[in-house]
């Protein structure tokens, strides 16, 4: 049996860092946040989740994305956008709240996982087009700064 870790954390961290390196990001202040939903128990998911800095008015969803950009992976199991959305609702997500989808490749397709999630949630979803790492604040990167592979950055789905 696969154990799925998912929870909703309401946070009020005070940050002033730029949480996106892409023109698609919204410009509201990065103070507080609507919360964080984390799906998976492996070290990459839990580390990225620990390093996410909340952004006001957004819910951060931290989960593995599949390389084809069509689904998600939780503890080795493939999960459809509909299944993830159902889990999000059970975890406290409110439909219409903007989503930062911290899932590799989830924004790589016009009608892929991020697009499907945006339609289900009736909300904007910002997702990486390639792989994603969220830094811890060590070395040259600030805590919560994102690095998306291949220079392809983020895409917004509405």
List the domain boundaries for the chain.
8-157
Q: Which residues contact 88 (CB under 8 A, 6 or more apart)?
A: 37, 59, 61, 121
pLDDT score of 152 more than 90 = no
Of 42 and 147, the one with more pLDDT:
42
pLDDT of residue 127: 94
CA distance linking residue 85 with residue 92, whole number of Å: 11
Tens of pLDDT, residue by residue over 16-60, are: 223 332 222 222 222 334 699 999 999 999 988 988 888 889 999
CA distance linking residue 104 with residue 113, whole number of Å: 10
CA distance linking residue 68 with residue 157, whole number of Å: 17
E-strand ranges in the chain read 8-9, 35-38, 58-62, 64-65, 72-74, 77-79, 98-102, 125-128, 132-134, 146-148, 154-157
> Mean pLDDT lowest for which of 62-66, 89-93, 116-120, 149-153?
149-153
pLDDT of residue 38: 96
């Amino acid at each position: 049996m696969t154990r799925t870790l998912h929870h909703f954390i309401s946070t009020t961290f005070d940050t002033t860092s730029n949480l996106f390196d892409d023109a698609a990001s919204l410009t509201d202040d990065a103070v507080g946040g609507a919360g964080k939903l984390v799906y998976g128990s492996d070290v990459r998911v839990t580390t990225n989740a620990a390093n996410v800095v909340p952004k006001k008015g957004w819910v951060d969803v931290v989960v593995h994305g599949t390389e084809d950009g069509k689904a998600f992976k939780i503890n080795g199991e493939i999960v459809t956008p509909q299944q993830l959305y159902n889990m999000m609702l059970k975890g406290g997500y409110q439909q219409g709240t903007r989503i930062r989808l911290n899932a590799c490749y989830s924004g790589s397709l016009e009608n892929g996982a991020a697009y499907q999630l945006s339609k289900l949630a009736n909300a904007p979803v910002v997702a990486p087009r390639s792989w994603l790492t969220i830094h811890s604040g060590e070395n040259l990167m600030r805590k919560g700064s994102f690095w998306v592979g291949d220079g392809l950055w983020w895409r917004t789905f509405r």
